[in-house]
Amino acid sequence: MLDSSKMDLGEKSPEDAYSRACLEFSRVNIEEQCFKSGATYLGERPEGPCLSLLYLKQECLIYWPRGEVISANQEFKLSYLDKVIILDYLIQARGTPLTGQAVTYAQLPSGGFYFRAVEQRTIPLLLKSFGNKPEHFLKAGEFFGAIRNSHGDVGITIQAFPWVPLYMAMWLGDDEFPANMRIFYDASIKDYLDTYDVAMLTVSIVGKMIKFKQD
């Protein structure tokens, strides 16, 4: 379900959202959530208990209970939004296996009310940057460790988290129809991120892909 406490996240400061996530993270059973999320518990460090989690194929270090999130790769920058999504994944993960069933954002709990807004913040930007340019699309995906899939004319799977794949599909345009793109998720994503977090994750990934192309 959509978490109503997060619905105005975009209207708050990123610091406020991060503070909320840190507080909730401090209350979890860290070893249990490592098991459910696919994170690795690294044990005690001078800075405190630490765990390792792959986010977009990049190792991130998270310190419990304070919720500090650090990228092990200094070239992979984490925004406050990234840190909030990472902590929310660790908080919410239930350890549910992948179903193999691809769903759209509209098919997620309460997603039908908000999918147009999510679509408008992602699909037009993807088409502007990658429409009918499959080689650019694939190269941007490769930066995040994406692999090819069978969706659309050109499809990629981006492993956002150990148990959260994101599927992107491109249909090439022709004389009759323009290029089109769609984003899908495994149906199990609802057991790892609430619907609002899925929106923010999707927007973040699209933004990173476009920035990669521009750079």
Lookup: tokens for 29: 């059973």
Residue 113 has pLDDT above 90, yes or no: no
pLDDT at 199 over 90: yes
Average pLDDT, the chain: 92
Task: For residues 115 and 167, state if they share a domain.
Answer: yes
pLDDT of residue 176: 87
The pLDDT score that the predictor gives to residue 12 is: 65
Give domain status of residue 176, yes or no.
Answer: yes
pLDDT value at residue 114: 87
d(Cα 141, Cα 133) in Å, to the nearest integer? Answer: 13
d(CA 84, CA 193): 11
Q: What is the pLDDT of residue 64?
A: 97
Query: Domain limits at 143?
Result: 102-214
* 188: its two tokens: 């199990």
33 falls within a domain: yes
Are 160 and 83 found together in one domain?
A: no
Dig out the tokens for 42 from the structure: 């690294």
On whether residue 97 sits in a domain, the answer given is: no
Q: Given this model, what pLDDT does residue 15 score?
A: 87
